[in-house]
Structure formats: C-alpha cells, structure tokens
Structure 1
C-alpha cells in the first residue's frame, strides 16, 4: 500500500498494479470502491491488469485502511440535521479531495491516458468528483481534463443517485423491519452477492425485475471464501462512522443535486471536454442498480447529453471477483 498527500492534512492510501512491462504507452484505470468493500476486493483485477496492458490504481477512500479519516466536523456536516443543499456541499468536498488525488497521481507517475471510475457507492463519490472540477485551481483542472479520457460509473445504485424506488416499492434487507435488526447486515450480504436472472431487460419493466431469491440460481460471490480472506477486502467500521449516512434515504435529495450537476449540467460537461461519460453494469446485479441505470438512460435521452451504457452479461454486483477480465476489458472500452 502506497500513500499520497493531497493537502497538508489529508492523504490517500492506494494500491498500484504498476506499469505494464515493455510498454511505454499504456492506459491507466483509477477506480473508487464502494461501501465496506475497499480496494482489497479488487485484488484479482489488480493481479491481471499489467498482463492485460493496463495500469490499475485503487485508492482507499477516507475512513478506509491507510487513508485519513473524516474529522468530526465533516461527519456532522453530512448528518440528517442539515439541509440537502448543505449536505451536497459537504459531500462535494470529498469529491474535490479525490480529484486532487487524481491530479497528484497523474503528476507523480507521469500518466498520459487515464480513466476514472467508481463502483457501487463509489459512483456517488464519482458524482462529487466530476462536479468538483469547477472547484479546483486552474492548473489542476487543466491537467486533469487533459489526461482523463473516460469517466465511468459501474453498478450505480438508484438510491445513491437520488432516484425514488420503482413503483413496485423495491426491497432491500437493510430496511426490512420483518428482519431482526441484528440479522439485517448478514441478510444484506446474502442478497447483494447473489445472481439475479432478470428477464426481458430490454423492456425496462420494473415489474419483471427480480427483487429477492429464496433459492440462488448460482453460487453467490465469496461462497466458501475463508473469513480471513474476506477480512482483506472489507472494513466494517466505515459504515457506522459515516458511509451509512451516504447510503441512507435522507441523503437522497443531496444525491439528486450532485447527480444532476455531474451528468446533466452543461457547464460541467464542457469542463470535462475530452472525457466520455459511461455507465457499465452487470445484467445479473441487484434490481436497484438496474433501476438506477434505466433512470439515467431516461434522463440522458430527455436532456440530449450523451452517456454510453455497457451491459456485462452474466455478471452480478461483484464482477471484480468473479469476472475480473470481462470487467477490465469493459471498463477500458469506455475510454
């Protein structure tokens, strides 16, 4: 694990696959992890990146191992007592720090062609990062927009972008009051790691989505993986500290503000002039991600601001573990 300072007080720990051997000109992918599962969950992608001609850089977000924690004031600024506009402003600052990380990495490693993306809850941080391009100094803005060729949202959950539940009401075990509170976390893990064979996705019918499975159609990700290996991928303290705030329903109005700014603000789009905007997703991921993708497609069509959408057949929410090569190639195709 390496570290880089972005301000006098804040540093990010990160993993780096290194430059591919015997290749001077290569693409670099920087990816921001989600809730609980940090950069360690991408180990298989990290191991295969250089052999595939890519460089993969995986920062740990603040709260996660090696990176500077949030201050008490930062956590308070994002709690439910604040107005949505104020929460959005506070959360945008975290995107600004990630943008500074991108800039420092570009300078320190001499990177030329970079794709920047986020997975799961990391897609919410992507909204903050993309919108923060107007908040950084002119030199940082110029370097980042010169070298970043692609911006990628991988498996964006609807709630993490401020979208309401589908008319069906949806179902997420964390909020199911029929499940004992002490059992909800394990129920969520069981739910999110499964494969969902949603039928007729091209029809975009939320009534045909599969919301839960009593009998898995395929072994869920991490089945039979030793717990000591799981511990290399997760940090259970980050959620209660602040990530649960970001994933909570009260945060949705702030997410809506940040989504509209990142994707559909013409000034922000112009600032990222050389970058493509892409959404990639597994076709067998959870319903709330499929629903989020459909809503983004709908908004892109209404506004006329383009987003490329790329589906990964047979992939669930943890493609980085079960299908690392397919995910890498799909992400790289977005640049």
Structure 2
C-alpha cells in the first residue's frame, strides 16, 4: 500500500491530468439519464448529506430496493446501466455517492485529520459515524419513499445493500454499526434488510492481509507519478486471463498484465460518460488513506457484519453474498478465497458465493444484464 508521502504526490498530479476532475465541494451538473431521479438526504445533525440517483418505483406495489455504493474514483454514475434495467424487472435501484464525492458533503478538516493521523479510537469513531450515516440514509429513504417491508412470504419488499470495490467498507460499517443506532431504527431496518452484497473487494479493503503478489499502478513507484492514475484507470477496468481457479493458488492468478480478449471497460465510455463518472481528485487520496490507516476498523466491520451472530440477529432476514468475476482482478479473486475460508472457519452458512463467468471488476458497466440477474438472484436465496 502507498505510504502517505507517496500519496501526497498524487494530489497536484490528478488536477493536471484531469482538468475536468471535480472535488466533492464543487457543484456538478448531473447529466440526464432518462427517467432517473436524483436528490440528497440529510444524514447528520450538522447537515451532512448523501447524494443519490434513483431508478424510481416499478409498476408493482411491493418491490425490492437495492442501495449501491461505488468504489475508488468512480462515482454513482458507474451503476447507471444496471440501474436503468431494474425498473422493468420489478425492482428499484438507488446509487449513493459517498462522502467526498459530488453533491455529498465533503469531509471536514477535522475528519481529514482523523483519516491522516487520527488515533485508533478516533478512527473507530469515524468508521462508526460513516456507517450510521448510511443506516440513516436508508431509514430516511424508506420513510420518504414509502417502501414496503419484507413480505410475510419473504418474496417481495425490503432492501438490499451493495458495496462495490472500495465502496465495500461503507456498507460493512453500516451493518457493523446497527447496534449503535436507536432501537426504533434497528427494528425498522430489521423488517427491511434482506441482503448485503459484497462485490469485488480486495483483501485489504476487508482488513485482511495483502498477498505478496499484489500489484497495482498506484503502488509501483517505477511509474512516473503523472502516469499512475491514467494507467490505473485502464488497468482496473481490464480483463485478466486467470489460471486454474480450482487450485485456489495465488500463483495461478495474473496480478499485473491484462488479457487481450476484451477491451478495458473504460474504453466503452463516451467522453461525456467518462467526464461525469471518473473522478480523480483528492477523494482518491482520501479513499486510499482510509485503506492504509484503518486496517483494524475495516477488519472489525467485515467480521461483525458477516460472522458476528449478535449483529446478524439484529437483522434476521439479511442474507450475505460475495460476487466476483472469474476474469477480474487478481486481488478480487484472492479476497473471494479469503472470505470462503473465513466462512468455513465460522461454521459455514454465513455468506453465499457467486463466481461469475466471463465478467471483470465492472460487471455492472460491461454486463449490466448479468449484474441485474446476479443482484436479483441474491434476493431469492
């Protein structure tokens, strides 16, 4: 993982490389996406807001609502293709911008100070606060939009929370903090929360050890600083020809060189889409620092939300899933195996696993129909 001093060198670079890059404190026009709705919900007493886009309610009266959280450097717009498919599939899809991303409240100076050099206690409080913000968002959305709870037969209603890539820590912090919100909110969310989907995390995003083979352009100091982020955008959206996955051998994975059988997902974006979705500003640095500095908190939230029976009993209808593509990044597959091992060590049955054939880290962009089907299938378990 990058050292802090190395991360700081990226800050001026990203603005030179991407004059369209927008910091979270700057307003941004949201491009029209058909009938997609958008808005903000206040999630804190100090006026903290989270921005979202919403596919809107489908024709049915009772339906499942998915709340999706984006990853590093790609905002809620990365879900727009699968979002557009959900309404005609009898579901609702809400994509949320995390703090420090457009239209959501940027981190304060005090919060950034905790990210950079906070104590362990301060970082735990920071992590819990972000989780409570997301729980509050879902609670408020349920009330404002009149969502139906899980039906008696379990077939309709309720909500599913999705974390993708570096977006995983926020949903995990939310579930791991369910015991920190008022009992009225706990009871409300218990009647709605039917699923938690972890999509393509890396091991260190879960607070787990990083494999020795791990590589990324952002951590390779032989790359000129000016080239690191542009190369990362291509590399992270690429496809990788992996070896025999049945061996569960990290050395069977392609850690560095992408395959050539399919172009990177970022090449399938128009300039307008790229400019509105890809954000290579200071939010990238803050995101990376939360992984570098919050290892104990990431691990605790991962363990609490998946394997802690006290937490799980507060959300008794929640079914946890892990999704990964079989031609995706090596770190995603490594994390997939790690969680399989942890699930088995905990006695099994805590997490369901979907290794999806032929898809990469950006299944929801390149293969939105497949992504939709995988998300919907998680509800049927």
Structure-2-length-normalised TM-score: 0.83
Contact 1:35–1:121, Cα closer than 8 Å, also in 2? yes
Q: Distance in 1 between matches of 2:258 and 2:364?
A: 24
Q: Aligned runs of 1:1-335 on 2, under 5 Å?
A: 1-8=38-45, 9-21=47-59, 23-79=60-116, 81-112=117-148, 113-166=158-211, 168-213=212-257, 216-223=260-267, 225-240=269-284, 242-248=286-292, 250-304=293-347, 306-335=350-379
Contact 1:120–1:157, Cα closer than 8 Å, also in 2? yes
Contact 1:74–1:90, Cα closer than 8 Å, also in 2? yes
**Structure 1 residue runs without a partner (length 5+):** none
Contact 2:234–2:266, Cα closer than 8 Å, also in 1? no
How far does residue 172 in structure 1 lie from its aligned partner after superposition? Answer: 1.5
Between 1:136-145 and 1:61-70, the stretch displaced more is 61-70
Q: Distance in 2 between matches of 1:11 and 1:54?
A: 25
Contact 2:52–2:94, Cα closer than 8 Å, also in 1? yes
Cα RMSD of the aligned pairs, angstroms, is 1.6
Secondary structure at 1:51's aligned position in 2? helix
**Structure 2 residue runs without a partner (length 5+):** 1-37, 149-157
Q: Distance in 1 between matches of 2:320 and 2:121?
A: 25
Contact 2:243–2:253, Cα closer than 8 Å, also in 1? yes
Q: Distance in 2 between matches of 1:316 and 1:39?
A: 18
Q: Distance in 1 between matches of 2:65 and 2:288?
A: 30
Q: Distance in 2 between matches of 1:139 and 1:253?
A: 29
Contact 1:28–1:57, Cα closer than 8 Å, also in 2? yes
How far does residue 216 in structure 1 lie from its aligned partner after superposition? Answer: 2.5
How far does residue 187 in structure 1 lie from its aligned partner after superposition? Answer: 1.8
Paired residues, what number? 331
How far does residue 208 in structure 1 lie from its aligned partner after superposition? Answer: 0.2
Q: Distance in 2 between matches of 1:265 and 1:241?
A: 31
Secondary structure at 2:99's aligned position in 1? coil
